[in-house]
Amino acid sequence: MFNTAAYRGAIGLTWLAVMTLLGTAVRAAQPAPVPPTLEIEVLDPNADPLGNPAVIVRDDGYGQSFVDIPPVVLVHRYYYTGDRSFQGPMLPGGPSIVVVNDPRDGQRCYIPVQMLPGAPRVHYSGRKIEYDYGRSGISISFGLWGKPKVVYRNSVPAARRAKNVIVGTGKGTARLVEQSGLPNLAKTSAQGTKNVVVNTKNAVEDLGQGLLAPAIGLVNATPLGSIFRGNPEDQARRRRDAEVRRAARENAKAAFSLPTLR
């Protein structure tokens, strides 16, 4: 005999196991929550008192001197822990050595870079590290073969330019609409439309009363008129109610009408 309770229990356990495995996979796919301040370590033992790269004059051993700038060491501690973008630290610029693990095989890389001074926006992906200074930038790409490639740019990327154009066009359109007074014009048009509707309604009511007046007078002239008219108190009350409605319509006209400037 088929046991329904046992079947339902087996389905429930299977569903619980599947959801547990999915939750574990999702947590494993999420990047490690590393604070931006811990991503990059700046090692510059030869900086001057202002934090700029120190300039050292050395003797080449043959009686001549040469100028040397010791490189700054930038250590990316946790690359690669997932795609992310964060505000980088203040970098002194100049000759630098970027120390990072290759995301392809995990090998330690020491990459010479002529870094720009400032605090760039750093972008991580599975194939590239980019130091974004706005119009300028430096990227380190990890291809399938060979050593990492360093690329310097002195212009805004095409994708970012397109985005800036779209954002700028939207802001310009908003300013144009505001300066042209279109919102006020739309508000005035809506108010005018409302006035036309109210006036049309009142005109229709007045026209209906004008058309019905002869018929009402004819009925009142017959013996049936006393039935429809009722007693004098009812007639007075109806006249009073009609005056109240007429006054309300006049007040509505005055409230919705717009003054004309000449």
The domain locations on the chain are 30-157, 181-256
- Over range 171-183, report the average pLDDT: 65
* Confidence band, pLDDT 50/70/90 cuts, at residue 117: very high
* Confidence band, pLDDT 50/70/90 cuts, at residue 120: very high
Considering 24-38, 40-54, 235-249, the range whose residues carry the highest mean pLDDT is 235-249
pLDDT for 142 beyond 90: yes
Q: Given this model, what pLDDT does residue 157 score?
A: 62
pLDDT for 262 beyond 50: no
pLDDT for 130 beyond 70: yes
The backbone torsions φ and ψ at residue 59, rounded to the nearest 5 degrees and listed phi first, read -100, 130
Cβ pair 31, 79 in contact under 8 A: no
The tokens describing 23, both together, are 């939750």
pLDDT for 230 beyond 60: no
Separate counts of helices (H) and strands (E) for the chain:
5, 11
38-78 pLDDT, tens digit each: 999 998 766 666 656 667 787 777 878 878 778 899 999 99
* Confidence band, pLDDT 50/70/90 cuts, at residue 114: very high
The tokens describing 261, both together, are 């400037």
- CA-based max dimension of the chain: 140
Q: Given this model, what pLDDT does residue 44 score?
A: 77
Q: Helix H segments across 92-181? A: 158-180
For the question of whether the overall pTM of this predicted structure is more than 0.75, the answer is no
Percent of the chain scored above 70 by pLDDT? 52
More confident residue, 224 or 21: 21
Q: Given this model, what pLDDT does residue 60 score?
A: 74
Q: Given this model, what pLDDT does residue 30 score?
A: 54
Task: Measure the CA–CA gap between 180 and 173, rounded to whole angstroms.
Answer: 10
Considering 53-57, 129-133, 240-244, the range whose residues carry the highest mean pLDDT is 129-133
pLDDT for 234 beyond 50: yes
More confident residue, 77 or 28: 77
State the chain's mean pLDDT as an integer.
74
- Over range 69-93, report the average pLDDT: 90
Distances (CA, A) of 96 to 71, 93, 99, 142: 5, 7, 10, 18
Task: Measure the CA–CA gap between 198 and 257, rounded to whole angstroms.
Answer: 10
pLDDT for 85 beyond 60: yes
Q: Given this model, what pLDDT does residue 101 score?
A: 94
Q: Given this model, what pLDDT does residue 119 score?
A: 95
User: How many CB atoms are closer than 10 A to CB 79?
Assistant: 22
Cβ pair 78, 86 in contact under 8 A: no
